[in-house]
Amino acid sequence: MPLIAMTREMGSLGRDVAAQLSERLGKRVVHHEIIDQLANKMRLRKSHVIRFLEGKAGIWERLTTDKTSLSIYTADETFQLAESGQVAVIRGWGAAHLLRPIPHVVCIRVCAPLQLRIERMMERLNTDDRTLVESEIRLSEEAHAAITRRHFGVKWQDSENYDLVLNTERLAIDECVEEVINLLDDRAFQETPASMQMFSNLALQTHVVAALRQDPRTAKMVISIEADQGRVTLSGILESGLEAQDAVDVAANVRGVKDVVNQLRNAAGRSPYHIDN
């Protein structure tokens, strides 16, 4: 079954659309579940990660948040959830951009005009402070825009980045759900051996990147990783003091890796070798 990756604007009712899709498809929605694993891997408090992602972090929190690690671990967790087969919708976390290359992933955006979203959020929060609500919405969107621009090089509100854009000013929640379900049935979004292999390759590449980032021996390496049917190729130039063998050892221990091809170079020249699991 195709997977749904959703981006939504605050107050657009995207949360409600995701919940109904989950009920119809018999699988869960994932959103906040990623935060716990991110906080653990980055050795930060959960509240620290949440404030940073929502654009509310203070100066010290911004300085102590490793943005590259956050991006790497978010991608790693997203692929792990997608691999589980238990998820219908991944809401947020850049999933719509991260998984965009995979043919059987349906990428959707749920939106609505700003003024309507302000009114909805005022009602939901039971407040008449329009200025405060508008400020919260704009802050959220600025943070989202910065993250997607930095990590994916895209403008998250551009419609060409999605397979389907749903405007809840014009469509009711159940109508949005029907539009998505119809797209899931489209032949273009069905799983194929080729699309599943593409997914597996990207997932394994992401897991290796995360493993290298987490290991102290390889955390500072800036190298290229490619995965193809279990074979992982490492390439790039290592700074002084970094050992190619450490990268090979870490990559070889990632689940799903069958063999590692080392094309890493260092200041002394090339030191290639190949390892089979």
What CATH number does domain 3-189 carry, 3.40.50.300, 3.40.640.10, 3.30.365.10, 3.40.50.150? 3.40.50.300
State the pLDDT confidence band at 274, using cuts at 50, 70 and 90.
very low
Q: Which of 198, 248, 249, 193 is nearest to 227 (CA)?
A: 198
Residues 6+ apart with CB under 8 A from 156: 7, 97, 109, 144, 145, 148, 149
* pLDDT per position as a tens digit, 19-49: 999 999 999 898 766 666 766 776 666 666 6
Judge if 3-189 and 193-276 fold alike in CATH terms: no
Cα 18-180-97 angle, rounded to 5 deg? 70
What band does 12 get if pLDDT is binned at 50, 70 and 90?
very high
Stated pTM of the model: 0.81
Give the helix/strand (H/E) hosting 53: helix 46-53
* Residue 7 three-state SS: strand
pLDDT (0 to 100) of residue 273: 47
The confidence score (pLDDT) of residue 46 equals 63
pLDDT above 90: residue 212: yes
For residues 232-264, one letter each, b for 16 or more C-beta atoms within 10 angstroms of the residue's C-beta and e for the rest, the string is bbbeeebeeebebebbbebbbebeebeebbbbb
Phi, psi at 187, each rounded to 5°: -60, -35
Which one-letter DSSP state was computed for residue 75? H
Over the stretch 215-246, which tens digit does the pLDDT of each residue have? Answer: 999 999 999 999 999 999 999 999 888 999 99
Domains in the chain: boundaries: 3-189, 193-276
> Could you tell me where the beta strands, DSSP code E, fall in 125-253?
164-167, 224-228, 231-237
What pLDDT is attached to residue 172? 97
Q: Identify the CATH class of 193-276.
A: alpha beta
Taking only Cα atoms into account, the Rg of the chain, rounded to an integer number of angstroms, comes to 21
Angstrom CA distances, 109 to 8, 12, 40, 163, stand at: 5, 10, 29, 8
